[in-house]
Amino acid sequence: MTCIECGGNLKTRKENYRYLACGLPNVTLAGVEVRRCGTCGDHEVVIPHIERLHEALAMAVVKHEARLNGSEVRFLRKYLGYSGVDFAALIGVSPETVSRWENKKETMGPSAERLLRMLVVHKGPIQQYPIEILTHISANARAKPIGLRPVGEGWVEQELAA
C-alpha cells in the first residue's frame, strides 16, 4: 500500500492509538490497525464500526463521576447530533452559554449537565428534532387540557371539542 501524501510505502501494524480526532484528549483505541508512511510520517488508522465506537465512548463519558468538561460537553452534543444553536434551544439556554461551556469558560450547571447525560443514555442520537416544540414554550401560553384516545395497543392525542 502507498501513502496518499507522498507515494511512499505504508507499513501496517496494530497499535494503541490516541483517538484525538474525536475531540477528547484522553481516548485510546487499543489494538487498532494503523498504517504509517516511512517516508513522510503520515498515517491513517482503520476504525471499524465508528458509530458503535462513538456510542460506547458517549456511554463511557456519561458514566464518569467527575463533572463534564468542555470537550466532553462538545463531544456529547455532537454525538446527539445537535448544532450548538439547536442544543441551546433544546435545553433552554443561549447559544453563547453553550459556547462558554464548550470553551471551558464556564462550567455547565448541574441540572443542564444531568439533562445532557440523560439525553445520551435514554435517547441517543436524534431521529427527529423536538426543538420546534421546545422553542415554543412560553410563559404567556395558556395551559391546554390533554385528550387521549386508545388506538390499537396504544394511545394517541386527541383534540378535545371546545
Binding site for Zn ion (CB under 5 A): 3, 5-6, 8, 37, 39-40, 42
Q: Smaller CB distance to Zn ion: residue 3 or 112?
A: 3
The H or E element spanning position 33 is strand 28-37
Kindly state the smallest distance separating residue 36's Cβ from Zn ion, in Å: 9
What is the Cα–Cα distance from 103 to 74, expressed in whole angstroms? 9
Record the cell numbers describing residue 155, joined without a space.
394511545
Kindly state the smallest distance separating residue 45's Cβ from Zn ion, in Å: 15
154 pairs with which residues across the strands?
151
Kindly state the smallest distance separating residue 34's Cβ from Zn ion, in Å: 14
What is the Cα–Cα distance from 104 to 139, expressed in whole angstroms? 31
Q: Smaller CB distance to Zn ion: residue 6 or 156?
A: 6
Q: Smaller CB distance to Zn ion: residue 33 or 55?
A: 33
